[in-house]
Structure 1
Amino acid sequence: MYRKILITTDGSAVSRMTACAGVSFAQQMGAEVLALFVAPEYQYPIYVEIIPPSYPSEEEYRAALVRAGREHTQSIVDACARKNVHCVSMTAFSESAALKIVEVAQQTHCDLIFMGSHGRSGWGQLLLGSVTNKVLSHSRIPVLVHRLLKEPAD
């Protein structure tokens, strides 16, 4: 049914648990996985005339977030390896995580987006998380929203 599943992560404990469920789902479907971390774009400081020397350059910022993305998606890659599921990971940059998730899913020909009902913004929300809600409203491919029944311990 599904051949390629995009699993998103923001690095939070909730997201890691959701990703584990996504990998199990991919294994059951016989699908491959694309693990995606969306990082915010570099922001130049607008409050000063001269960029402070301690402020990272755009290249340093991007390199640091690519490393962070690799760390955040590594648990998905490892889970896929344990379950013999083919997996590729990537980090993308955008100010709108939701729109980037939809765009990457379309560009990489994913059949399904698997994501949590809440991410880093957490359990305090009564409704779906804002990123999840935006993905649901913009995606033309199916989105499976996984909801954890209990909050994970960090």
Structure 2
Amino acid sequence: MYRKILITTDGSAVSSKTACAGVAFAEQMKAEVLVLFVAPEYQYPIYVEIIPPSYPSEDEYRAAMLRAGQEHTQDVVDSCAKRGVPCEAVTAFAESAALKIVDVAEKHRCDLIFMGSHGRSGWGQLLLGSVTNKVLSHAKTPVLVHRLIKEPGSK
């Protein structure tokens, strides 16, 4: 049914749990995985006229974010390898994580976007589910939202 599944991660415990569920789902579907970490674009400090010497250059920032992306996606890559699921990891830069997720899914011809929801309601849903909600409202690709009933590490 699904041949290529995009799994998003931000490195948090919640997204790691979601990614594990996504890999298990991909294994059941006999699909390959594209795991994505979206880093914010470099921001020049707008509050000063001269960039402070301690402020990272754009190249330094991009290198640090690429390393972070590799670290955050490595667990998914390793999990896929253990399960025999083909996997590719991508780090992308964007102002809007949601729009980048939609764009990457389309460019890589993914059949499904697999992402998490914190299972919150009210203001918590509004604040913490905004990326998921934006993806749902902009994606042409089907989106499977994996809902965690409780936070990792809670009883």
TM class by shorter chain equals over 0.9
CA contact (8 A) 2:33 2:86 kept: yes
TM-score (normalised: structure 1) = 0.94
Moved over 4 A (4+): none
- For the pair 1:24 / 2:24, whether they are aligned, the reply is yes
Q: 1:126 offset after TM fit, Å? A: 3.7
Residue equivalent to 2:14: 14
Residue equivalent to 2:42: 42
CA contact (8 A) 2:9 2:36 kept: yes
CA contact (8 A) 2:6 2:35 kept: yes
CA contact (8 A) 1:37 1:90 kept: yes
Q: What is the total number of aligned residue pairs between the two structures?
A: 151
CA contact (8 A) 1:118 1:132 kept: no
- For the pair 1:136 / 2:150, whether they are aligned, the reply is no
1:26-68 CA-to-partner distances (Å, cap 9, x unmatched) read 0000000000000000000001111000000000000000000
Q: Percent identity?
A: 77
Residue equivalent to 1:147: 147
CA contact (8 A) 2:118 2:151 kept: no
TM-score (normalised: structure 2) = 0.93
Q: CA RMSD in A?
A: 1.7
Gaps of 5+ in 2: none
Query: Which structure has greater helix proportion?
Result: 2
Gaps of 5+ in 1: none
User: 2:104, 2:150 → 1: CA distance?
Assistant: 30
